[in-house]
Amino acid sequence: MGTPDRHSIEFFLELIRRSGLVADGEVGTLVERFRKSPYYYARLPESITAFCSFLVAANVLTTCQCAKLREWRFRGFFLDEWVLLDEIGRENDARLFLSRELHGTGQAILRIWPPKGRFGPRLDVVRRID
Q: pLDDT of 66-101, one tens digit each?
A: 999 999 899 999 998 999 999 999 988 899 999 999
pLDDT at 124: 87
- φ/ψ region of 80 (left if φ > 0, alpha if ψ in -120 to 50, else beta) reads left
pLDDT at 123: 87
* Arithmetic mean of pLDDT, 30-47: 74
Omega before residue 115 within 30° of 0, cis: no
For the chain, percent of residues with pLDDT exceeding 90 = 42
Residues 6+ apart with CB under 8 A from 46: 9, 40
Task: Report how far residue 38's alpha carbon sits from residue 78's, in angstroms, rounded to the nearest whole number.
Answer: 31
> Binning pLDDT at 50, 70 and 90, where does residue 15 land?
very high
pLDDT at 39: 73
Task: Report how far residue 72's alpha carbon sits from residue 47's, in angstroms, rounded to the nearest whole number.
Answer: 15
pLDDT at 104: 83
pLDDT at 65: 96
Report the candidate in 56, 68, 63, 51 with the shortest Cα–Cα distance to residue 10: 51
